[in-house]
Amino acid sequence: MDKGFSWSVSRHDTFMSCERKYFYSYYAAEQDPEIHRLKKLSALPLWAGSVVHDTIENFLKTHDAMPSPEEQEAIVRAAVHEAMLANWRQSEEGSREFRLFEHEYEVPVDKEDKRIVVNTVMRSLRNFFKSPVLQDAFAAGRERWLTVEDLVSFEVAGTTVFLRMDLAYRSREGKVRIVDWKTGRGEGRFAEVQLAGYALYAAQQGWVQAPEEIETELAYLVIPRFVTRQVDGKKLDHARAFIEKSATRMKTLLLDPLANEARIEDFAMIDRPRRCRRCNYRRLCFPRGVEERPEAPAAAVLSGSTS
Protein backbone atom coordinates (compact mmCIF):
# COMPACT_ATOMS: atom_id res chain seq x y z
CA MET A 1 0.00 0.00 0.00
CA ASP A 2 1.29 3.46 -0.88
CA LYS A 3 2.23 5.68 2.04
CA GLY A 4 1.55 9.38 2.08
CA PHE A 5 4.04 12.20 2.25
CA SER A 6 5.48 13.06 5.64
CA TRP A 7 8.12 15.41 7.04
CA SER A 8 10.93 15.16 9.58
CA VAL A 9 14.10 17.10 10.32
CA SER A 10 16.21 14.23 8.97
CA ARG A 11 14.24 14.30 5.70
CA HIS A 12 14.77 18.05 5.45
CA ASP A 13 18.50 17.70 6.16
CA THR A 14 18.85 15.03 3.48
CA PHE A 15 16.83 17.05 0.97
CA MET A 16 18.96 20.15 1.52
CA SER A 17 22.21 18.20 1.19
CA CYS A 18 21.30 16.48 -2.12
CA GLU A 19 17.97 15.94 -3.86
CA ARG A 20 19.15 12.70 -5.48
CA LYS A 21 20.22 11.34 -2.07
CA TYR A 22 16.77 12.29 -0.79
CA PHE A 23 15.11 10.34 -3.61
CA TYR A 24 17.20 7.25 -2.90
CA SER A 25 16.59 7.44 0.86
CA TYR A 26 12.84 8.07 0.93
CA TYR A 27 11.55 6.59 -2.32
CA ALA A 28 13.92 4.13 -4.02
CA ALA A 29 14.98 2.48 -0.74
CA GLU A 30 11.39 1.38 -0.14
CA GLN A 31 11.34 -0.56 -3.41
CA ASP A 32 14.91 -1.74 -3.96
CA PRO A 33 16.58 -3.99 -1.32
CA GLU A 34 20.09 -3.00 -2.42
CA ILE A 35 19.36 0.71 -2.11
CA HIS A 36 17.76 0.02 1.27
CA ARG A 37 20.97 -1.74 2.33
CA LEU A 38 23.07 1.23 1.23
CA LYS A 39 20.75 3.58 3.13
CA LYS A 40 21.53 1.71 6.36
CA LEU A 41 25.34 2.07 6.05
CA SER A 42 26.82 3.84 9.07
CA ALA A 43 30.03 5.89 8.90
CA LEU A 44 32.32 6.01 11.94
CA PRO A 45 31.02 9.26 13.54
CA LEU A 46 27.39 8.20 13.01
CA TRP A 47 28.18 4.82 14.49
CA ALA A 48 29.56 6.42 17.64
CA GLY A 49 26.40 8.50 17.97
CA SER A 50 24.17 5.47 17.47
CA VAL A 51 25.99 3.44 20.13
CA VAL A 52 25.69 6.30 22.62
CA HIS A 53 22.00 6.89 21.89
CA ASP A 54 21.13 3.18 22.01
CA THR A 55 22.98 2.74 25.30
CA ILE A 56 21.30 5.77 26.86
CA GLU A 57 17.86 4.71 25.62
CA ASN A 58 18.28 1.21 27.05
CA PHE A 59 19.52 2.62 30.35
CA LEU A 60 16.65 5.11 30.72
CA LYS A 61 14.04 2.46 29.92
CA THR A 62 15.40 -0.04 32.45
CA HIS A 63 16.52 2.06 35.43
CA ASP A 64 14.56 4.02 38.01
CA ALA A 65 17.51 5.56 39.82
CA MET A 66 21.14 6.49 39.34
CA PRO A 67 23.41 3.41 39.35
CA SER A 68 26.58 3.22 41.39
CA PRO A 69 29.87 4.42 39.83
CA GLU A 70 30.85 0.78 39.36
CA GLU A 71 27.60 0.02 37.51
CA GLN A 72 28.02 3.12 35.36
CA GLU A 73 31.49 2.02 34.29
CA ALA A 74 30.22 -1.48 33.54
CA ILE A 75 27.59 0.02 31.21
CA VAL A 76 30.23 2.14 29.45
CA ARG A 77 32.59 -0.79 28.97
CA ALA A 78 29.81 -3.07 27.76
CA ALA A 79 28.95 -0.52 25.07
CA VAL A 80 32.54 -0.61 23.80
CA HIS A 81 33.65 -4.18 24.41
CA GLU A 82 30.37 -5.90 23.58
CA ALA A 83 28.13 -3.75 21.37
CA MET A 84 30.84 -2.02 19.33
CA LEU A 85 32.96 -5.15 18.95
CA ALA A 86 29.94 -7.12 17.76
CA ASN A 87 29.08 -4.34 15.27
CA TRP A 88 32.65 -4.27 13.94
CA ARG A 89 32.71 -8.01 13.35
CA GLN A 90 29.33 -7.87 11.61
CA SER A 91 30.56 -5.11 9.34
CA GLU A 92 33.78 -6.90 8.45
CA GLU A 93 31.75 -9.98 7.52
CA GLY A 94 29.49 -7.96 5.21
CA SER A 95 26.37 -8.35 7.34
CA ARG A 96 23.11 -6.86 6.10
CA GLU A 97 22.24 -6.03 9.71
CA PHE A 98 25.16 -3.67 10.29
CA ARG A 99 27.72 -2.41 7.82
CA LEU A 100 30.15 0.49 8.03
CA PHE A 101 30.54 2.84 5.09
CA GLU A 102 34.31 2.44 5.47
CA HIS A 103 34.12 -1.33 4.96
CA GLU A 104 31.60 -1.09 2.12
CA TYR A 105 33.76 1.32 0.13
CA GLU A 106 37.14 0.02 1.34
CA VAL A 107 38.13 3.25 3.07
CA PRO A 108 41.19 2.61 5.28
CA VAL A 109 40.51 2.76 9.02
CA ASP A 110 43.68 3.19 11.06
CA LYS A 111 44.20 2.80 14.80
CA GLU A 112 43.71 6.53 15.41
CA ASP A 113 40.31 6.43 13.69
CA LYS A 114 39.24 3.58 15.95
CA ARG A 115 40.63 5.32 19.02
CA ILE A 116 38.64 8.48 18.28
CA VAL A 117 35.38 6.54 17.88
CA VAL A 118 35.88 4.53 21.07
CA ASN A 119 36.93 7.66 23.00
CA THR A 120 33.82 9.52 21.76
CA VAL A 121 31.56 6.75 23.04
CA MET A 122 33.29 6.39 26.41
CA ARG A 123 33.53 10.14 27.10
CA SER A 124 29.93 10.72 26.03
CA LEU A 125 28.52 7.99 28.26
CA ARG A 126 30.61 8.95 31.26
CA ASN A 127 29.54 12.57 30.90
CA PHE A 128 25.94 11.45 30.47
CA PHE A 129 26.02 9.85 33.91
CA LYS A 130 27.53 13.03 35.37
CA SER A 131 25.10 15.37 33.61
CA PRO A 132 22.91 17.70 35.70
CA VAL A 133 19.91 16.99 33.47
CA LEU A 134 20.04 13.26 34.23
CA GLN A 135 20.23 14.00 37.96
CA ASP A 136 17.25 16.33 37.61
CA ALA A 137 15.19 13.79 35.62
CA PHE A 138 15.67 11.11 38.27
CA ALA A 139 14.98 13.62 41.04
CA ALA A 140 11.68 14.49 39.35
CA GLY A 141 10.72 10.80 39.31
CA ARG A 142 9.88 8.46 36.44
CA GLU A 143 6.18 9.17 36.84
CA ARG A 144 6.92 12.66 35.49
CA TRP A 145 8.75 11.43 32.38
CA LEU A 146 6.74 12.13 29.24
CA THR A 147 8.71 10.26 26.56
CA VAL A 148 11.95 8.36 26.03
CA GLU A 149 12.79 7.83 22.34
CA ASP A 150 9.16 7.25 21.33
CA LEU A 151 8.38 7.76 17.62
CA VAL A 152 5.40 10.11 17.46
CA SER A 153 3.63 12.18 14.83
CA PHE A 154 1.43 15.26 14.60
CA GLU A 155 0.05 17.53 11.89
CA VAL A 156 1.36 20.86 10.64
CA ALA A 157 -0.62 22.54 7.84
CA GLY A 158 -1.95 19.18 6.68
CA THR A 159 1.45 17.45 6.66
CA THR A 160 2.27 14.57 8.99
CA VAL A 161 5.42 15.34 10.97
CA PHE A 162 7.43 12.55 12.59
CA LEU A 163 9.81 13.06 15.48
CA ARG A 164 11.55 11.14 18.23
CA MET A 165 12.58 12.98 21.41
CA ASP A 166 15.52 11.60 23.34
CA LEU A 167 13.92 12.55 26.66
CA ALA A 168 11.11 14.82 27.84
CA TYR A 169 9.98 15.15 31.44
CA ARG A 170 8.20 17.53 33.77
CA SER A 171 10.68 19.04 36.22
CA ARG A 172 10.00 19.55 39.91
CA GLU A 173 9.43 23.23 39.09
CA GLY A 174 6.64 22.24 36.71
CA LYS A 175 8.39 23.01 33.42
CA VAL A 176 8.56 20.54 30.54
CA ARG A 177 12.20 19.90 29.73
CA ILE A 178 13.06 18.44 26.32
CA VAL A 179 16.55 16.99 26.06
CA ASP A 180 18.56 16.10 22.95
CA TRP A 181 21.77 14.12 23.46
CA LYS A 182 24.60 15.07 21.07
CA THR A 183 27.93 13.33 20.43
CA GLY A 184 29.24 16.02 18.09
CA ARG A 185 31.05 19.13 19.24
CA GLY A 186 29.17 21.69 17.17
CA GLU A 187 25.53 22.56 16.76
CA GLY A 188 23.96 20.94 13.73
CA ARG A 189 22.47 23.01 10.92
CA PHE A 190 18.91 22.36 12.00
CA ALA A 191 19.27 21.69 15.73
CA GLU A 192 17.20 24.73 16.67
CA VAL A 193 14.41 23.78 14.27
CA GLN A 194 14.46 20.23 15.60
CA LEU A 195 14.06 21.40 19.19
CA ALA A 196 11.39 23.92 18.21
CA GLY A 197 9.52 21.06 16.50
CA TYR A 198 9.71 19.07 19.72
CA ALA A 199 8.31 22.05 21.62
CA LEU A 200 5.54 22.45 19.04
CA TYR A 201 4.53 18.82 19.56
CA ALA A 202 4.59 19.28 23.36
CA ALA A 203 2.31 22.31 23.08
CA GLN A 204 -0.11 20.55 20.71
CA GLN A 205 -0.28 17.54 23.04
CA GLY A 206 -1.38 19.79 25.89
CA TRP A 207 1.68 19.09 28.02
CA VAL A 208 1.76 22.81 28.87
CA GLN A 209 -0.67 25.70 29.02
CA ALA A 210 1.79 28.16 27.45
CA PRO A 211 5.00 27.85 25.37
CA GLU A 212 6.95 29.59 28.12
CA GLU A 213 6.48 26.49 30.27
CA ILE A 214 8.82 24.57 27.93
CA GLU A 215 12.59 24.64 27.87
CA THR A 216 14.95 22.71 25.61
CA GLU A 217 18.42 21.43 26.26
CA LEU A 218 21.15 20.45 23.81
CA ALA A 219 23.44 18.12 25.76
CA TYR A 220 26.85 17.95 24.06
CA LEU A 221 28.12 14.95 25.97
CA VAL A 222 31.63 14.54 24.57
CA ILE A 223 32.71 18.07 25.62
CA PRO A 224 30.60 18.25 27.91
CA ARG A 225 28.40 21.33 27.41
CA PHE A 226 24.71 21.79 28.16
CA VAL A 227 22.79 24.55 26.35
CA THR A 228 19.39 25.38 27.82
CA ARG A 229 16.99 27.64 25.94
CA GLN A 230 13.56 29.00 26.74
CA VAL A 231 10.61 28.62 24.37
CA ASP A 232 8.04 31.24 23.41
CA GLY A 233 5.24 31.65 20.91
CA LYS A 234 7.52 33.16 18.26
CA LYS A 235 9.70 30.03 18.22
CA LEU A 236 6.66 27.83 17.74
CA ASP A 237 5.37 30.05 14.93
CA HIS A 238 8.79 29.89 13.27
CA ALA A 239 8.81 26.09 13.54
CA ARG A 240 5.36 25.85 11.90
CA ALA A 241 6.40 28.17 9.07
CA PHE A 242 9.70 26.36 8.55
CA ILE A 243 8.03 22.92 8.33
CA GLU A 244 5.32 24.17 5.97
CA LYS A 245 7.83 25.85 3.65
CA SER A 246 10.16 22.83 3.64
CA ALA A 247 7.34 20.36 2.97
CA THR A 248 5.99 22.50 0.14
CA ARG A 249 9.42 22.62 -1.48
CA MET A 250 9.76 18.83 -1.28
CA LYS A 251 6.32 18.28 -2.78
CA THR A 252 7.07 20.50 -5.79
CA LEU A 253 9.48 17.82 -7.05
CA LEU A 254 6.95 14.99 -6.84
CA LEU A 255 5.30 13.58 -9.93
CA ASP A 256 2.06 13.23 -7.95
CA PRO A 257 2.07 14.92 -4.50
CA LEU A 258 -1.24 13.35 -3.46
CA ALA A 259 -0.02 9.83 -4.24
CA ASN A 260 3.52 10.68 -3.05
CA GLU A 261 5.03 9.44 -6.31
CA ALA A 262 8.49 10.49 -7.45
CA ARG A 263 10.72 10.08 -10.51
CA ILE A 264 14.47 9.91 -10.19
CA GLU A 265 15.16 12.42 -12.97
CA ASP A 266 13.26 15.11 -11.08
CA PHE A 267 15.77 15.01 -8.21
CA ALA A 268 19.05 16.64 -9.21
CA MET A 269 22.50 15.38 -8.30
CA ILE A 270 24.90 17.79 -6.63
CA ASP A 271 28.33 18.44 -8.13
CA ARG A 272 30.53 18.26 -5.05
CA PRO A 273 32.99 15.34 -5.34
CA ARG A 274 34.32 15.75 -1.78
CA ARG A 275 30.83 15.36 -0.34
CA CYS A 276 29.88 12.61 -2.79
CA ARG A 277 32.86 10.49 -1.72
CA ARG A 278 31.27 10.19 1.71
CA CYS A 279 27.74 9.42 0.46
CA ASN A 280 26.21 5.97 0.96
CA TYR A 281 24.88 6.01 -2.61
CA ARG A 282 28.05 7.06 -4.38
CA ARG A 283 28.28 3.87 -6.46
CA LEU A 284 24.77 4.50 -7.78
CA CYS A 285 25.58 8.02 -8.95
CA PHE A 286 29.23 7.43 -9.88
CA PRO A 287 29.79 3.79 -10.87
CA ARG A 288 33.07 4.81 -12.58
CA GLY A 289 34.28 6.83 -9.60
CA VAL A 290 33.28 10.04 -7.86
CA GLU A 291 35.54 12.13 -10.11
CA GLU A 292 33.47 11.17 -13.17
CA ARG A 293 29.85 12.22 -13.43
CA PRO A 294 27.84 9.45 -15.12
CA GLU A 295 24.71 9.80 -17.16
CA ALA A 296 21.50 9.86 -15.10
CA PRO A 297 19.97 6.41 -14.45
CA ALA A 298 16.80 5.41 -16.26
CA ALA A 299 13.58 6.99 -15.08
CA ALA A 300 11.62 5.30 -12.35
CA VAL A 301 8.35 6.07 -10.61
CA LEU A 302 8.22 5.04 -6.98
CA SER A 303 6.06 5.60 -3.93
CA GLY A 304 7.58 6.91 -0.73
CA SER A 305 7.37 6.01 2.92
CA THR A 306 6.56 7.81 6.16
CA SER A 307 10.05 7.28 7.59
- The string of pLDDT tens digits covering residues 150-175 is 999 999 999 999 999 999 999 999 99
- The string of pLDDT tens digits covering residues 224-253 is 999 999 999 999 999 999 999 999 999 999
| Confidence at residue 287, expressed as pLDDT on a 0 to 100 scale | 85
**Three-state SS across 157-170?**
CCEEEEEECCEEEE
CATH architecture of 138-231: 3-Layer(aba) Sandwich (3.40)
Question: Which residues in the chain come in under a pLDDT of 50?
Answer: 1-2, 292-301, 305-307
| Confidence at residue 186, expressed as pLDDT on a 0 to 100 scale | 73
End-to-end CA distance of the chain: 15
CA-based torsion, 256, 262, 263, 265: positive or negative: positive
| Confidence at residue 188, expressed as pLDDT on a 0 to 100 scale | 66
pTM: 0.90
Q: What is the largest CA-CA distance in the chain?
A: 60
What are the boundaries of each domain within the chain? 138-231
Q: Which run of H or of E encompasses 140?
A: helix 132-140
| Confidence at residue 158, expressed as pLDDT on a 0 to 100 scale | 94
| Confidence at residue 304, expressed as pLDDT on a 0 to 100 scale | 56
| Confidence at residue 296, expressed as pLDDT on a 0 to 100 scale | 39
